[in-house]
A and B are shown apart, each in its own frame.
Chain A
Amino acid sequence: MGATTHAGHHHEVHSDSHHHELGFWQKYIFSTDHKVIGIQYGVMSLLFMLFGFSLMMLMRWSIAYPDTPLPVLGKALQHVFGPDALPNGAMGPDLYNAFGAMHGTIMVFLAIVPLAFAAFGNYVVPLQIGAPDMAFPRVNMASFQCFFLGGVVMFASFFIPGGAAKSGWTSYSPLATLAERGIMFNGQTFWLIGMVLLITSSLLGAVNFIATIIQLRAPGMTWMRLPFFCWAQFITAFILLLAFPPLEAAGVMQLMDNLFGTSFFLPSGLMMGGTTPVPVSGGGSPLLWQHLFWFLAHPEVYVLILPAMGIISEIISNNTRKPLWGYKSLVYSVFAVGFISFIVWAHHMYLTGMGTKISTFFQTTTMIISIPSVIILTCLFISLWGGSIRFNTQMLFALAFLPMFGIGGLTGLPLGFNFSDLHLHDTYYVIAHFHYVVAPGTIFGLFAGIYHWYPKITGRFMNEFWGKVHFWLSLIFMNAVFQPMFLQGMHGMIRRMYNGGATYAAAANQVGLPPEIIDLNRWVSHGAWFLGLAQIPFIINFFWSIRGGKKVTNDNPWDATTLEWDTPTPPPHGNFDKPVAIYRGPYEYSVPGHATDFTMQSMPDKAAKH
Chain B
Amino acid sequence: MEIPYNHEARPDTGLYNAKVGIWLFLASEVMLFGALFSAYILLRVGADPGTWPHGLLNIPIGTFNTAVLITSSVTVVLGWAALQMGNFAAYRKYQAVTILCALGFLGIKSFEYKDKFGHYEVWLKEPVTVKHGQKEVKTDRLLGHIDYNGTHPYFWKTETLAAKKVESFKFAPDPYHYTMSAKEMAHAKRDSAGIEHAEIEIKSSQVKRLSAFVPAHSTFFAIYFTLTALHGLHVLGGALVIAYIWGPGAKLWKTNPVQYTNRVEISGLFWHFVDLVWIFLFPVIYLL
Q: Does a CB–CB distance below 8 Å link A and B in the complex?
A: yes
Interface residues of A (CB under 8 A from B): 131-133, 135-137, 139, 203, 206-208, 210-211, 214-216, 241-246, 248-250, 252-253, 256, 260-264, 268, 279-281, 283-285, 288, 291-292, 295, 573-574
Chain B residues, Cβ within 8 Å of A573: 1
The distance from the CB of B15 to the nearest CB of chain A, in whole angstroms, is 7
Bound-state Cα–Cα, A256 to B51, Å = 20
Chain B residues, Cβ within 8 Å of A243: 31
Question: Is the beta-carbon distance between B29 and A215 smaller than 8 angstroms?
Answer: no
The residue from B1, B35, B218 contacting A133, defined by CB atoms under 8 A apart: B1
Of all chain B residues, the one with the shortest Cβ separation from A255 is B226
Question: Is the beta-carbon distance between B43 and A284 smaller than 8 angstroms?
Answer: yes
B2 within 8 A of partner (CB)? yes
The contact string, 1 if C-beta is below 8 Å from chain A, for chain B 1-34, is 1111100001001011110110011011101111
Question: Is the beta-carbon distance between A137 and B3 smaller than 8 angstroms?
Answer: yes
B211 within 8 A of partner (CB)? yes
B234 within 8 A of partner (CB)? no
For the complex of A and B, 5 pairs with smallest distance between CB atoms: A574-B1, A246-B35, A245-B32, A262-B222, A249-B35
B47 within 8 A of partner (CB)? yes
Question: Is the beta-carbon distance between B5 and A215 smaller than 8 angstroms?
Answer: yes
Question: Is the beta-carbon distance between A253 and B39 smaller than 8 angstroms?
Answer: yes
The residue from B1, B21, B27, B158 contacting A132, defined by CB atoms under 8 A apart: B1
Chain A residues, Cβ within 8 Å of B42: 285, 288, 291
Of all chain A residues, the one with the shortest Cβ separation from B51 is A283
Question: Is the beta-carbon distance between B27 and A133 smaller than 8 angstroms?
Answer: no
B71 within 8 A of partner (CB)? no
Chain B residues, Cβ within 8 Å of A215: 4-5, 10, 13, 15-17, 20
The residue from B10, B51, B216 contacting A262, defined by CB atoms under 8 A apart: B216
Question: Is the beta-carbon distance between A261 and B216 smaller than 8 angstroms?
Answer: yes
Give the interface SS of chain A, mostly helix, strand, loop or mixed: helix
B46 within 8 A of partner (CB)? yes
Bound-state Cα–Cα, A288 to B42, Å = 8
Of all chain B residues, the one with the shortest Cβ separation from A242 is B31
Chain B residues, Cβ within 8 Å of A133: 1, 3
Of all chain A residues, the one with the shortest Cβ separation from B218 is A281
The distance from the CB of A203 to the nearest CB of chain B, in whole angstroms, is 5
Question: Is the beta-carbon distance between B36 and A249 smaller than 8 angstroms?
Answer: yes
**Given A214-B20, A241-B24, A262-B219: A248 touches B43 (CB 8 Å cut-off):** no
Q: Which of B195-224 contact A (CB under 8 A)?
A: 211, 214-219, 222-223
B230 within 8 A of partner (CB)? yes
Bound-state Cα–Cα, A208 to B223, Å = 31
Chain A residues, Cβ within 8 Å of B20: 135, 210-211, 214-215
Question: Is the beta-carbon distance between B17 and A244 smaller than 8 angstroms?
Answer: no
The residue from B1, B32, B33, B39 contacting A288, defined by CB atoms under 8 A apart: B39
Chain A residues, Cβ within 8 Å of B51: 283
The residue from A203, A214, A245, A260 contacting B35, defined by CB atoms under 8 A apart: A245
The residue from A249, A256, A292 contacting B222, defined by CB atoms under 8 A apart: A256
The residue from A135, A203, A253 contacting B28, defined by CB atoms under 8 A apart: A203
Chain A residues, Cβ within 8 Å of B27: 241-242
Chain B residues, Cβ within 8 Å of A206: 24, 28
The distance from the CB of B281 to the nearest CB of chain A, in whole angstroms, is 14
The distance from the CB of B29 to the nearest CB of chain A, in whole angstroms, is 7
Bound-state Cα–Cα, A215 to B8, Å = 11
The distance from the CB of B287 to the nearest CB of chain A, in whole angstroms, is 21
Give the interface SS of chain B, mostly helix, strand, loop or mixed: helix
Question: Is the beta-carbon distance between A246 and B31 smaller than 8 angstroms?
Answer: yes
Bound-state Cα–Cα, A136 to B20, Å = 11
Chain B residues, Cβ within 8 Å of A283: 43, 46-48, 51, 218-219
Besides A207-B24, A216-B3, A253-B226, 14 more A-B contacts (Cβ < 8 Å) are A210-B24, A215-B20, A242-B28, A249-B39, A262-B222, A263-B222, A264-B223, A268-B48, A281-B217, A283-B48, A283-B51, A283-B218, A288-B39, A295-B35
Of all chain B residues, the one with the shortest Cβ separation from A287 is B42
The distance from the CB of B157 to the nearest CB of chain A, in whole angstroms, is 8
Question: Is the beta-carbon distance between B215 and A256 smaller than 8 angstroms?
Answer: yes
Bound-state Cα–Cα, A284 to B218, Å = 9
Question: Is the beta-carbon distance between B32 and A246 smaller than 8 angstroms?
Answer: yes
Bound-state Cα–Cα, A37 to B36, Å = 33
Of all chain B residues, the one with the shortest Cβ separation from A216 is B4
Bound-state Cα–Cα, A281 to B213, Å = 12
Most buried by A among B3, B158, B218: B3
Bound-state Cα–Cα, A285 to B43, Å = 7
Question: Is the beta-carbon distance between A264 and B43 smaller than 8 angstroms?
Answer: yes
Bound-state Cα–Cα, A46 to B34, Å = 35
The distance from the CB of B165 to the nearest CB of chain A, in whole angstroms, is 19
Question: Is the beta-carbon distance between A250 and B35 smaller than 8 angstroms?
Answer: yes
Bound-state Cα–Cα, A263 to B211, Å = 14
Question: Is the beta-carbon distance between B32 and A281 smaller than 8 angstroms?
Answer: no
Bound-state Cα–Cα, A243 to B34, Å = 11
The distance from the CB of B220 to the nearest CB of chain A, in whole angstroms, is 8
The distance from the CB of B119 to the nearest CB of chain A, in whole angstroms, is 16
The distance from the CB of A242 to the nearest CB of chain B, in whole angstroms, is 5
Most buried by A among B4, B48, B217: B4
Chain A residues, Cβ within 8 Å of B222: 253, 256, 262-264, 281, 284
Question: Is the beta-carbon distance between A292 and B216 smaller than 8 angstroms?
Answer: no
Name 18 A/B residue pairs within 8 A (Cβ), A-sorted: A132-B2, A133-B3, A210-B20, A215-B10, A241-B28, A242-B27, A244-B28, A245-B29, A249-B32, A252-B226, A256-B226, A261-B215, A261-B216, A262-B215, A262-B222, A263-B216, A281-B217, A285-B46
The distance from the CB of B204 to the nearest CB of chain A, in whole angstroms, is 16
Q: Which of B49-64 contact A (CB under 8 A)?
A: 51
The distance from the CB of B133 to the nearest CB of chain A, in whole angstroms, is 27
Chain A residues, Cβ within 8 Å of B219: 262-264, 281, 283-284
Of all chain A residues, the one with the shortest Cβ separation from B9 is A215
Bound-state Cα–Cα, A8 to B24, Å = 42
Chain A residues, Cβ within 8 Å of B39: 249-250, 253, 264, 288, 292
Bound-state Cα–Cα, A52 to B214, Å = 40
Chain A residues, Cβ within 8 Å of B2: 132
Q: Which of B208-255 contact A (CB under 8 A)?
A: 211, 214-219, 222-223, 226, 230
Chain B residues, Cβ within 8 Å of A261: 215-216
Bound-state Cα–Cα, A325 to B211, Å = 66
Chain A residues, Cβ within 8 Å of B5: 215-216
Of all chain A residues, the one with the shortest Cβ separation from B25 is A207
Question: Is the beta-carbon distance between A288 and B28 smaller than 8 angstroms?
Answer: no
Bound-state Cα–Cα, A208 to B22, Å = 10
Chain A residues, Cβ within 8 Å of B159: 279
The distance from the CB of B150 to the nearest CB of chain A, in whole angstroms, is 28
Chain A residues, Cβ within 8 Å of B35: 245-246, 248-250, 292, 295
The residue from A132, A268, A291 contacting B3, defined by CB atoms under 8 A apart: A132
Chain A residues, Cβ within 8 Å of B25: 203, 207
Chain B residues, Cβ within 8 Å of A210: 20, 24
Chain A residues, Cβ within 8 Å of B10: 215
The distance from the CB of B24 to the nearest CB of chain A, in whole angstroms, is 5
The residue from B43, B216, B223 contacting A260, defined by CB atoms under 8 A apart: B216
The distance from the CB of A206 to the nearest CB of chain B, in whole angstroms, is 7
Of all chain B residues, the one with the shortest Cβ separation from A261 is B216
Chain A residues, Cβ within 8 Å of B33: 249
Chain A residues, Cβ within 8 Å of B47: 283
Bound-state Cα–Cα, A353 to B79, Å = 55
Question: Is the beta-carbon distance between A211 and B17 smaller than 8 angstroms?
Answer: yes
Chain B residues, Cβ within 8 Å of A574: 1
